[in-house]
Amino acid sequence: MGTLGSLNMETSEAIKMKTSEYLIERAPEIKNKWVYLTIPFAAIAFAELLIYSGRELEAIIMHALILLGLSFSTMFIRNEEIQKTYQAFILLPILRLVDLSMPLFYEEKLYNLIFIYGLMTIPVIIAATNQGFTGSQLGITFKKIGIYIPFSIVLGLLLGTVEYLIVGKNPLINDLSILNLLGLTMIMIFLVSPVEEMIFRSILQNRLEIVLGSWKALIITSILFGLMHSGYGNIIEILYISLVGILLGFLFYRTRSLPLVALIHGFINVFFFGIIPLL
C-alpha cells in the first residue's frame, strides 16, 4: 500500500479552496435536516430491498413514486440546500428505473449497458450543472493520472477478486478474446464507472458533505452505493460493496479525483465481469 501515500495529500488550505469545504462553512443551519434526508434514504433503501427479495415490479413502482415525490418536493421546499440534495437523490431512482425498464437490444447484457448509461449521462450532466460545483469540486482533473492508472489496476484486481469470491462467476463476455476484452474495458472504464462515480461521489457525496459533514456523507453515500447492488440477492455482496464505497468515497474525499475512483471502479468490473471468471 506504499503507493497510497503518494495520492495527492495536499495542504488543507489548498484542498479547502478547490473542494466543497468552503461551501460547508458558508451553508446556513438547516432545521429538521435529518427528517428531510431520512425520508428519501429510507424510501430508496426499501425499494432496493424489494429487488433483493425478488419483487422487481413492486420495486419499479416504489422507485417511480420516489422519483415523483422528490421531484414535486423540490417545488415546495424553500431551503436551497435541501432542494439540491433532493436533486442529487433523484439520480438513484432514475438509474434504477432505466436499468429495470430498458428493453434488451442485445443478447449480451454488456452492450445493453451502452443504452442504460448512455441515457443516464443526460440527467447526470444536468444535475452536476445545477448543483453549482466547480470542475475541481466534481473531481474533473487528470493530475497524477500516471500514478493513478497502475494503482487502479492493482486495487481493481484485488477488490474484483474478493467480489468474485463472494458472488461467483458472472461474466458479461463469452471469452477473453482481444475484441471482447477491449469492449468490456471501454464500456466499464469510459462509460459505466464514470457515470456511477459522478452520481455517488461527485454529486451525492459532495452535496451531503455540505448538509451533514464529510464522514456522515461518506457513510450514507456508501450504504446507498451498496444497496444499489441488491440485484444479486446476496446480502454479503451488499455489505462488501458498501465497504468498497467507503474506500472509493474516502479516496475521492482526499484526492478530489473523479478519474481515480472511476478507474478503480472500472477495473473492478473488468476483472469481476471478465478476466477472473474466464481465466
- 40: helix, strand or coil: helix
pLDDT, greater one: 109 or 265? 265
Is pLDDT at 4 greater than 90 in this prediction? no
**Residue 8, phi-psi category: left (phi > 0), alpha (psi -120 to 50), beta (remainder):** left
Is pLDDT at 196 greater than 80 in this prediction? yes
- pLDDT attached to residue 100: 92
pLDDT in tens, 150-163: 999 999 999 999 99
Please compute Rg for the chain using Cα positions.
18
Question: What is d(CA 82, CA 1) in angstroms, rounded to the nearest whole number?
Answer: 38
Is pLDDT at 128 greater than 90 in this prediction? yes
Quickly state the pLDDT bin for 27 (edges 50, 70, 90): low
Is pLDDT at 13 greater than 80 in this prediction? no
Question: What is d(CA 59, CA 53) in angstroms, rounded to the nearest whole number?
Answer: 10
Quickly state the pLDDT bin for 104 (edges 50, 70, 90): confident
Average pLDDT along the chain: 90
**Which of 88, 6, 1 minimizes the C-alpha distance to 257?**
6
- pLDDT attached to residue 74: 87
Residue 275 neighbours by CB distance under 10 Å: 21
Predicted model pTM: 0.90
- pLDDT attached to residue 7: 45
